[in-house]
Structure 1
Amino acid sequence: MRPLPRLDGHPPVVVVGIGADGWAGLAPASCAEIERAEVAVGSARQLALVPASVPVERVPWPSPMLEALAGLVERHAGRALVVLASGDPMLSGVGTTLTRLLGADRVRVLPAPSSVSLACARLGWAVEETQVVSLVGRALELLHPHVQPGRRLLVLGSDGDTPAQVAALLTARGYGQSRVTVLGGLGGPDESTHSGTAAAWDGPGPALAITALECRADPGTVPLPTTPGLPDEVYESDGQLTRSEVRVVALARLAPIPGQVLWDVGAGSGSIGVEWMRAHPTCRAVAIEASAERAGRIGRNAASLGVPALRVVQGRAPEVLFGLPDPDAVFIGGGLTTPGLFEACWVALPAGGRLVANAVTVESEAVLAGWFARVGGDLVRIGLQRAEPVGRFTGWKPAMPVTIWSVIKP
């Protein structure tokens, strides 16, 4: 979506939130803005809520909307333009998009109650204690990290099929006992409420609906928190997997920060990138893997664990690193002895960026020791032993020790 040029001297674009109760539910200031407008843009449903007596040119949203938005605003520059939106335009709405394009000083937003506020009012839930997950135009798998015992979720969907899809995901995850409430037409004359359990859910919901979830784990279901160190068995793997205990240490050193980008070089099964992104919805990661088979496996792990936006780049580093989004942190889990790899990663990092690398062979340890001597940082070795049967008794079986080098670029 291309940015708009400055439209100085023109009146601001007014974004008016309108609920299912239509014109009667609008505040006087919102009605006045629509009445004085020359052009009103919105969906056919929203435009139909404006009385025929209001002499405004009505322009339905083109399709696809986002791609056409810049041209639409430019075409009506200089005219009093009102954009109609559902509920609160700043909650996953067009108000946010227009503000990003034009700047906050060129957009005036008059919100109505959002579907989230209305749903919480009907359910008796505190808004600040309720997690909102938007699946509008997004992958259903984004719901996974939020499905935790006792959590209350409000899911925004694209159509009436969303409740059934959400219920199926919950059931497959071992949360079939979760209570599902579908609230349709909130605030309008046809408002409806339908409740049941995820496991017993059937049939589509209303086209305009929000799905409320009270997550309840079935007996025996193991929760998957968003903290690092998921059980190894939740990953599809051929053995190239950073083990849970080592993963915890590596991610603590990488320090996932909202909005930042990780390069996971030699990603194997993708566990570091997956858990970096699970730490916060705005964390982004690029998994670089030479093996096509493993690259496909990383994509499946990312989807099943709720981060389908993890970018997988199949190819050999350092060649494939050029042109990737600049990293804030880099993890090197494989290919440590590859010529030029460390240099490329180090140059790509900004000041304050974090680099973490794991080694299990003498040759790889030598590389880490060289960089440790050159730029400092922290060098540790982790040895793990697991209890396993030894005949009728139990003994300790050691795993290969892992050397971890971590450094913050000055």
Structure 2
Amino acid sequence: MIGQAAEPLPAPEEPGFGAFFDRFAGARVVLLGECSHGTAEFYRARAAITRRLIEAHGFTIVAVEADWPDAAAIDRQLRGRPPEPDGEAPFRRFPTWMWRNTDVAAFLGWLRGWNTGREPGAQAGFYGLDLYNLSASVEAVLRYLDRVDPEAAAVARERYGCLMPWMDEPQDYGRMALSRGYAPCEEGAVETLRDLLEKRRDYAGAGGESYLDAAASARLVKNAEEYYRLMYYGGARSWNLRDTHMFETLCALLEAKGPQSRAVVWAHNSHIGDASRTDMGRERGELNIGQLCRERFGQDAALIGFGTHTGTVACATDWDEPMQVKRVNPSRPDSYEWLAHESGLGRFLLDLREGRLPPALREALMEERLERFIGVIYRPETERWSHYSACTLPEQFDAYVWFDETTAVTPLPGPEEAGPEETFPTGL
């Protein structure tokens, strides 16, 4: 039945691909997923859709599942802003291939060309939503305050001093706070963010983009301090804090860019599909940015998932281990991926919104089935338990993009630094 209702898609590189997604161009936020962090076709498809939304429909925010400081360094290049002095090179920490790959590089090259010659308000920015890279965020706040308010910088430097011993291994701070039974650095992080937000008008003359960067960095420090404490408690609390942070950062971007601003989000299916329609929410009490966007924006949020049957994927077996290219197991017969594979179509778009599917197909898809989630870690030998979760696809997403066989991303050369086990063990 999927084969009759789905719309066959051309390859993402072909000119007509992006136009299939014009139906979602009226949304305030279009969230584009992926069922792995290492699949080239997903990056190419998201790039083609995003180009279309920018060129034809005026979207100006590209917000991705990446750390704010790293994306901010790239954004300066894309929009002709000078680099920060002594800023660290972006995307050098595990898993580097997630954003340092040839498909992302090609999209960013296009985005830089698009921005060239345009007024700042008409340019499209590239922003990170995630809450890691604590050290670079602290540095960004202090660097900004040193320029605009040296007295406030001295206060912030003293407050952040509590976190300084833990910059290289922030998860050790969480372990220490757990063993002591209190959060010694929480107050300073909260107060620094509060002061920045309260002085927004005072700092307006120093430049809106610089303030946005500093405020986002201070928000990251405040939430990361809490995240590294919560990650040792298990359960849903650390996941929910992380996705709430991503949602708050997205909302701050939309507010800063004005009421007519619109955003494209790139993140994993586990983040952009409505968690309340999966066992993430139903069994584990987890929420995500897709669910929060639906609750805030209603039909002005479009949630688009991506899937594949088999192929290759760039991944690691464990955290901080070298990247490998692994073969993706064929999908299970009790999964949504299997139903998509049985359609016989190599690529398709399935519009899942109410009234867009034949009633019999919608009824069949409403039956809960398994769905595969591959993060930066992939363990084919334990796939059923480590990578599948029960979902209700037509309620989880507004649309589903299918590539029957996919290939691994090609990483860019460069050193990789060890990173804290921030999303261990799934790497989502």
TM-score range, shorter chain: under 0.3
* Structure with greater helix percent: 2
The higher radius of gyration belongs to: 1
TM-score, reference length from structure 1: 0.24
Greater RCO, CA 8 A, separation 6+: 2
* Structure with greater strand percent: 1
TM-score, reference length from structure 2: 0.23
